[in-house]
Chains A and B, each alone.
Chain A
Amino acid sequence: MNSITPAKVPNKPSLPAAVPYRVVRPELELESIERELAKTHLPECVGGKSIVMASDVTKSYRRSKTVVPVLKGVDFNAERGKITAIVGQSGSGKSTLLHLLGTLDRPDSGEIHFDGERTDNLPARKRDAFRNKKLGMIFQFYHLLPELTLLENVIAPAMIGQSIVSYFRNRSSIIQRAKSLTEMVGLSHRLHHKPCELSGGEMQRTAIARALITDPKLLLADEPTGNLDQESGQSILQLMRDLNRDTGLTIVMVTHDENIAQQCDALVRLKGGKVERIK
C-alpha cells in the first residue's frame, strides 16, 4: 500500500521529482512551485477543463490492528467553474476524499493533481503553502478561531501566508479586502465580534469570507449546511452559488443532502470505496 503506483493519466509526461526543500518563506516557495509548474504542465489540465483531479486514489485507516479501507481506487475530477457535489452515506469516505483533495492528508496510492500540478507528494511545507494560497476550505462546524474577532478570523490566512514585514506592508489592502468580503457575505456590521457572539449561519459566512481572503481557485466545502437550519443553509448555498456565478469560483462540496446535491452542476456518489458519476 505504501508504494505509489505509476501515473495512469494518459499523455501525462512524468513530473520531475519534488523540488528539494530550499526556502522557508511560503510566498517564495509558491513562486517556485509555479515555475516548476510552467515547465511541466499538463495541457489538458492547466487552463483545461478540470481544476482538481484524483486518479486511482486509495486510502485506508488503521484502527488498532485492523486496516479499514475507505477509498479503493477513486477517480475524481472537478471541472473549472462548476459546483461539484460529493454525496454518500456516513463513513463512505466523502470527507476523506475532500481532505485528500485539500492536501490535508496523503493517499496511500494514486495521484492528485491540482491545476496540472501533482500535490500528493509535495513536502509538507509546500503543501501548507499550497493550501494557504490556492485553496479555501469551509467545514460543517465552521472552525473559526474563538480567540479572534470576525475580522481577524477573516484575515488569518493572509497573516499565515506572509511574514510579519510583508503583512504590515500589505496590511491596509488586506484589511480592505477582508472588509469587502465581509460586506459581500453580509456581516460588515459585526467585524469586531467574537465567533461565540455569532449565529451558526453568520459563522459559516465568516468561514466563507476567510476561505476567500487569499483569492483561491478552488473552494472545498465539507457539509457546509450540515449544522444549519433549512433557511440559513439555503442562504449559505445561495451565497456559494452567487460566488460561483459572479467570480467563476470552482466549488467541491461534500453533502449528504440529496436535495442540495441535485442543485449542483455535477454530482458524484461514493459507494463501497468507489466513485460513481451521477451527473
Chain B
Amino acid sequence: MYKLLLCWRYLKTRWIALASIVSVTLGVATLIVVNSVMDGFTSQMQDRMHGILSDLVVETRGTSGISEPNWYIDRIRARLGNSVEGVTTVVTLPAMMTFHHNGSAHTQQINLIGIDQKTYASVSDFSKYLIHPDNQSQLDFKLKQSGYAPEREALQPAGWEYRNRVEQLKKERLSELEKYRLLQEKIAAEQRNQQSNPLNENNNGTRSLETNGANSQSESLPTKQTEPNSIDSMLAGPRIPTMQLGGGGGRVFDASKEQRTGIVLGIGIGSVRGRDLAGKVKDYFFIRPGDDVNVAFPNAGTPPRAIDEMFTVVDFYESKMSEYDATFAFVPIEALQRTRGMIDPMSNVGAVTSIQIKLKKGSDLASARDALRDEFPPAESYVQVNSWRDTQGPLLAAVQMETTILNVLLFMIIAVAGFGILATFFMIVVEKTRDIGVLKSLGAPGSGIASIFLGYGVLLGSVGSGAGVICGLLFVWKINEIARILEWFTGREVFDPTVYYFDSIPTIIHPFTIVWVSIGAVLIAIMASVLPSIRAARMHPVEALRYE
C-alpha cells in the first residue's frame, strides 16, 4: 500500500520527472501520426492500384491472344471453385493515339484495353473512377448529353453539348468559307465580264484578288465539300447508287448526331494539371468527352501491321494513380477483336490477351495464384498467372520498407527518451536516499523499495504515452488544418496536389497500432527504471540514513 501511495505522491510532487517523459510523449505522438498517415497513404495507393487491376490475371504475351478463353475460364472456375467472385476477358495492346488540339495533331503512346463492359465491373472498381455519374453505375460507351462532373469548371462543356457546339462552329466556318468562295466566284465572273468590257477603272486591284481567290478555291474545294464522294467517284463512277443501296456504305458520317466507337481515356491523357499565376491548382483539358481521336494499334496478324480507327471520347476515368491515368484507355472489347481480326470465323469466338479474375473477400490471394500457376504450368501453356500484388510488388515493398524503417527510427527516439528517464530516475533515487533509508528502518523490504520506483516508472510511462496518444490522435484528427498552418509557415506545400492528387491527407488509425505503441513506450519507461530501482533496493539502510 505504501508503495502505491508513495509513487502516487512522487508523481504528484516531482514535476521534473514529467519533463523527462515529454520525449516519450512526443515519440508516441509522432509514431501514431506517422503510422496513420503512412497507413492512409498505403491504403489509398493500394485501393487505386487495385482499383484498376483485378486480383488475378491470366495473360499471354502473344499478339493474337488466347483463342479459346472459355476453356480457360471453365478450368479457372473448376480449380478455384467458390472463391471466384467474377471473371472477365480483356484485350490489352500498346497503341498510339492521335488527337487534334489548337489545329495541330498530337500523338501519344497509350495502353489500349478492350473490356467487356458487362463483366468488367465485377472484377475491378473501374467504374467508380469514371467521371460521369451514369457511367459509374453502368458503362455503355455512349456519349452523354452533359453532366460530366459539373463541379469541374475546366471540363465544361462536355458530351453531346460540346460535340454539337463544335460541329455547329465547323458548319458556320464552312458556310462562311462557302460564302467566301461564292463571293470570289462572283467577283471572278464579274471580272471576266469586265475584261470583255475594257472601261473598268479598278482593273489592277481586282486582278490580284482574283488570283488569291483562285488559290483558296482550289484548296478548299476538294477537302471540305467533295471529299466523301471524290474517291468513290474516282473509283466507281456510275456504280455509286448500287453500292449505296446494297450496304449503305457511302453514307456520310454526321458528327453532330452520331458517335464513333466509344473510348474512355485516363484523365492524364486528356488533361494537364498545373498552377495559375495565383498559385491555384488548375486542370486544363485539351481533349473532352465528345472529341474524336484516332488510335493506331497492331493487328493480330503475323507480322503485325499497324491499323487505325477513330474513336469518340465518351468519358474520362480518374483513379488518381498517375501511372494508370496517364496511359490507360478503355474501349469495348468487340471493337478491338473485330478490327484486329481476333474473331475466329468458324466458331465466332473472339480471342483475348488476358483473363482477369476477382476473388471473394477474404480469399487467399497467393494460394489462389499458386493454384492457377499449378493449373497452367509455364512449361506447358503460354499464359502467365500474376496477382495484382506481383504487378505492383516493388512499389508496395518500397512503401512497406519505408514504414518499417520509420517505425524503427521513431522507436529509437523513444529509446533515447528511455535514457533520459534512466538519468532522471538515478537523480531521484539519489535525492530520495534518506527516505529509502527511513523506509528500510521502518521495515520495508528491498523489493518493496524497488517496486516504488518501478511503479513510478510505470506511472510516468503511462502518463507519457497516454498524453502522446491523445496528442497523436488530435494531430491526426486535425492534420489537414495543421498541414495548412505548416504550409503557411514554411511557404512549402506539404502534399502537393499536382503530384499526389489528394485534396486531403489520408489517414487511417488502427487501434492495434495505438496499443502496441503505448505498450512499447511503457515498456521502455519500465526498462529505464529497472536499474535505478535495483540501486535503491540495494542501498544499505545505515548509509542511506546517514546520507546528507
Q: Does A38 contact B (CB under 8 A)?
A: no
- Give the distance in Å from the alpha carbon of A147 to the alpha carbon of B11 in the complex: 10
Residues of B within 8 A of A159 (CB): 1-2, 5
Q: Does A124 contact B (CB under 8 A)?
A: yes
Which residue in B4, B435, B439, B545 is a CB contact (below 8 Å) of A160?
B439
* Shortest Cβ distance from residue B289 to the other chain A in the assembled complex, whole angstroms: 75
Q: Are A102 and B6 in contact (CB under 8 A)?
A: no
Count of chain A residues with Cβ under 8 Å from any Cβ of B?
A: 34
Q: Does A128 contact B (CB under 8 A)?
A: yes
Residues of A within 8 A of B6 (CB): 145, 147-148
Q: Are B444 and A160 in contact (CB under 8 A)?
A: yes
Residues of A within 8 A of B434 (CB): 143
* Shortest Cβ distance from residue B11 to the other chain A in the assembled complex, whole angstroms: 10
Residues of B within 8 A of A157 (CB): 442-443
- Give the distance in Å from the alpha carbon of A26 to the alpha carbon of B440 in the complex: 14
- Give the distance in Å from the alpha carbon of A143 to the alpha carbon of B5 in the complex: 18
Q: Are A128 and B444 in contact (CB under 8 A)?
A: yes
Q: Which of A123-141 contact B (CB under 8 A)?
A: 124-125, 128-133, 135, 137, 139
Q: Does A48 contact B (CB under 8 A)?
A: no
Which residue in B5, B435, B446, B542 is a CB contact (below 8 Å) of A99?
B542
**Nearest A residue to B8 by beta-carbon distance?**
A147
Q: Are A161 and B10 in contact (CB under 8 A)?
A: no
Residues of A within 8 A of B446 (CB): 124
- Give the distance in Å from the alpha carbon of A47 to the alpha carbon of B444 in the complex: 28
Per DSSP, chain B at the interface is helix
Q: Does B213 contact A (CB under 8 A)?
A: no
* Shortest Cβ distance from residue A198 to the other chain B in the assembled complex, whole angstroms: 16
Q: Are A125 and B445 in contact (CB under 8 A)?
A: yes
Q: Are A129 and B441 in contact (CB under 8 A)?
A: no
- Give the distance in Å from the alpha carbon of A160 to the alpha carbon of B443 in the complex: 7
Q: Are A132 and B442 in contact (CB under 8 A)?
A: yes
Task: Report which residue of A135, A147, A163 has the largest number of chain B beta carbons within 10 angstroms of its beta carbon.
Answer: A147
With A99-B542, A105-B541: A148-B5 Cβ-Cβ less than 8 Å? yes
Q: Are A137 and B441 in contact (CB under 8 A)?
A: yes
Residues of B within 8 A of A161 (CB): 443
- Give the distance in Å from the alpha carbon of A210 to the alpha carbon of B437 in the complex: 15
Q: Which of A151-168 contact B (CB under 8 A)?
A: 152, 156-157, 159-164, 167-168
Which residue in B437, B443, B542 is a CB contact (below 8 Å) of A128?
B443
Q: Which of B215-273 contact A (CB under 8 A)?
A: none
Which residue in A105, A131, A162, A167 is a CB contact (below 8 Å) of B442?
A131
Q: Does B13 contact A (CB under 8 A)?
A: yes
**Nearest B residue to A132 by beta-carbon distance?**
B443
Q: Are A139 and B2 in contact (CB under 8 A)?
A: no
- Give the distance in Å from the alpha carbon of A148 to the alpha carbon of B446 in the complex: 20
Q: Are A143 and B545 in contact (CB under 8 A)?
A: yes
Q: Are B542 and A160 in contact (CB under 8 A)?
A: no
**Nearest B residue to A167 by beta-carbon distance?**
B1
Residues of B within 8 A of A105 (CB): 540-542
**Nearest A residue to B7 by beta-carbon distance?**
A147
Q: Are B445 and A146 in contact (CB under 8 A)?
A: no
Q: A100-131 CB contact bits vs B (8 Å, 1 = yes)?
A: 00101100000000000000000011001111
Residues of B within 8 A of A130 (CB): 443
Q: A158-193 CB contact bits vs B (8 Å, 1 = yes)?
A: 011111100110000000000000000000000000
- Give the distance in Å from the alpha carbon of A157 to the alpha carbon of B441 in the complex: 10
Q: Are A104 and B440 in contact (CB under 8 A)?
A: yes
Q: Does B438 contact A (CB under 8 A)?
A: yes
Q: B1-38 CB contact bits vs A (8 Å, 1 = yes)?
A: 11011100110010000000000000000000000000
Residues of A within 8 A of B40 (CB): none
Residues of A within 8 A of B445 (CB): 26, 124-125, 128-129
Q: A77-109 CB contact bits vs B (8 Å, 1 = yes)?
A: 000000000000000000000010010110000
Residues of B within 8 A of A124 (CB): 445-446
- Give the distance in Å from the alpha carbon of A13 to the alpha carbon of B539 in the complex: 35
Q: Does B448 contact A (CB under 8 A)?
A: yes
- Give the distance in Å from the alpha carbon of A117 to the alpha carbon of B150 in the complex: 97
- Give the distance in Å from the alpha carbon of A156 to the alpha carbon of B449 in the complex: 13
Residues of B within 8 A of A128 (CB): 440, 443-445
* Shortest Cβ distance from residue A263 to the other chain B in the assembled complex, whole angstroms: 26
Q: B526-548 CB contact bits vs A (8 Å, 1 = yes)?
A: 00000000000000111001000
With A105-B541, A147-B6: A164-B1 Cβ-Cβ less than 8 Å? yes
Q: Are A143 and B438 in contact (CB under 8 A)?
A: yes
Q: Are A156 and B437 in contact (CB under 8 A)?
A: no
Q: List 30 A-B contacts (CB under 8 A).
A: A26-B443, A102-B441, A104-B440, A104-B441, A104-B545, A105-B540, A124-B446, A128-B444, A131-B443, A132-B443, A132-B444, A133-B443, A139-B545, A143-B434, A143-B438, A143-B441, A145-B6, A145-B439, A146-B435, A147-B6, A147-B9, A147-B10, A148-B5, A152-B5, A156-B2, A157-B443, A160-B439, A160-B448, A161-B443, A167-B1
For the complex of A and B, 10 pairs with smallest distance between CB atoms: A132-B443, A147-B9, A159-B2, A131-B443, A159-B1, A143-B438, A167-B1, A128-B445, A104-B541, A157-B442
Binding site for A on B (CB under 8 A): 1-2, 4-6, 9-10, 13, 434-435, 437-446, 448, 540-542, 545
| Contacts A132-B443, A143-B441, A164-B4 known; 18 new A-B pairs at CB < 8 A | A26-B443, A99-B542, A104-B440, A104-B545, A105-B541, A133-B443, A139-B441, A139-B545, A143-B437, A145-B435, A146-B435, A147-B10, A148-B9, A159-B1, A159-B5, A162-B1, A167-B1, A210-B442
